Amino acid sequence: MSALAEPVAAPHRRSLAAAVWRARWQYVAISPFYLLFAVFGLFPLLYTVGLSFHAWSGAGPWSPVGLENYLSLGAHGQFLASLANSLVYLVAGVPVLVVGSLLAAVVLNSARLRFRSLYRTVFFLPYVTSEIIIAIVFIAVFDQNFGWANGVLRAVGLPVVPWLTAPEWSKVPVLTLFVWSRLGYYLILMLAGLQTVPQELYEAASIDGASPTQQFVSITVPLMRGIILFVLVTTTIAVLNLFGAPFILTGGGPANSSSTLTLVLYQTAVSWANYGLASAIAVVISLITVAIALAQIRLLRVGD
């Protein structure tokens, strides 16, 4: 049997090699992408996974520790607190961004709205503005003594709130900054998706007596499911990788009440020089992100 298969396999290999050789310049043309991906994507990924099974302080050889870094995360109080915080940000932030960007896109897509281009620019501007500058503004907004938020509360006779220094309130400015800076980006994506919905469907629905709400539920949402899924997944990834807002506003405090997974990753690597444990945290973040994203894709594709 193998003697018969060999003569067939040999010409097949030669024809494949000949086809590759004929398309050699096409492969050369696309090779920069794969080279860059291998250097800046694949190699760091494999390096991080390998390092997660070792102990390393940044100097000297790696010391194999097996699963110790992963097992220690179960007793890592700061990691567990940041995981709980990230889940809170996920549950509170993702629906606001997805629903808010969709509703805002529907409003800004209306032909009857004047100055649509101006409104779109205003919404998108925070996304292209430096996060450090935005954070400085938000520190002024949420400052306990001189902040604008507490100024409004004083004006209506309510007590001031220690937004940045109280564990029960510290997530509010972090989440507000994140939503405000990201909403414009997802709004643009939703607007792009709305351009693909045929206007004839809305006209037919209007003739049949469907209200704007019925048109939104029966036409817009079903036909926008693909872009909604994309925004949902990308928002989830952004939330689970949230770093700048808590780092600048609160430093993860007080008492880790606003810390995130990526902030703990940064502190473990940079402040504590425990690169093995930091690599394990990075792998866990990636696995959590992939698991949640796959679950979202599966749920929204039911009925396809």
Domain containing residue 94: CATH number: 1.10.3720.10
Tell me: do 28 and 92 sit in the same domain: no
- 127 shares its domain with 273: yes
Are residue 50 and residue 186 in the same domain, yes or no? no
Q: Is the peptide bond before 254 cis (omega within 30 degrees of 0)?
A: yes
Closest CA to 253 of 131, 130, 165: 165
Q: Are residues 165 and 181 in the same domain?
A: yes
Residue 12 lies in a domain: no
In this structure, the answer to whether residues 145 and 244 fall within a common structural domain is yes
User: What's the CA gap between 129 and 189, in Å, rounded?
Assistant: 18
Kindly state whether residue 8 falls inside one of the protein's structural domains: no
> Which token pair is 4?
């018969």
Residue 277, in any domain of the structure: yes
Residue 138 pLDDT greater than 80, yes or no? yes
> In this structure, is residue 133 part of a structural domain?
yes
Domain boundary, last residue among 10, 41, 69:
69
Co-location of 112 and 149 in the same domain? yes
- Which residue among 69, 96, 112 closes a domain? 69
Per-residue pLDDT band at 133 (split at 50, 70, 90): confident
Instruction: Please report whether residue 2 resides in a domain.
Output: no
Q: How many domains does the chain have?
A: 2
In this structure, are 79 and 52 located in the same domain? no
Among 69, 103, 133, identify where a domain stops: 69
What predicted TM-score, i.e. pTM, was given to this entire model? 0.82
Contact assessment for residue 164 and residue 149, using Cβ atoms and an 8 Å cutoff: no
Together in a domain, 31 and 159:
no
Q: How far apart are CA 133 and CA 127, in angstroms?
A: 12
Q: For 126-162, b where at least 16 C-beta lie within 10 A, e where not — what string? A: bbeeebeebbeebbebbbeeebebbeeeeeeeeeebb
Residues 65 and 88 in one domain: no
- Asked if residues 263 and 82 have their Cβ atoms less than 8 Å apart, the reply is yes
Same domain, 129 and 230: yes
Take residue 187 and report the two structure tokens written for it. 């709004």
What is the span of the domain harbouring residue 238?
A: 70-300
- Please state, for a pLDDT cut of 90, what percent of the chain lies above it: 22
Instruction: Categorize the per-residue pLDDT at 1 as very low, low, confident or very high, splitting at 50, 70 and 90.
Output: very low
pLDDT at 304: 54
Residues 65, 81 within the same domain: no
Q: Tell me the mean pLDDT in the region 178-202.
A: 87
- pLDDT of 8 reads 47
Same structural domain for residues 63 and 212?
A: no
Q: Is the predicted pLDDT of residue 2 greater than 70, yes or no?
A: no
- The answer to whether residues 268 and 52 touch, using CB atoms and an 8 Å cutoff, is no
Q: Is 172 exposed, middle or buried (0-12, 13-18, 19+ CB in 10 A)?
A: middle
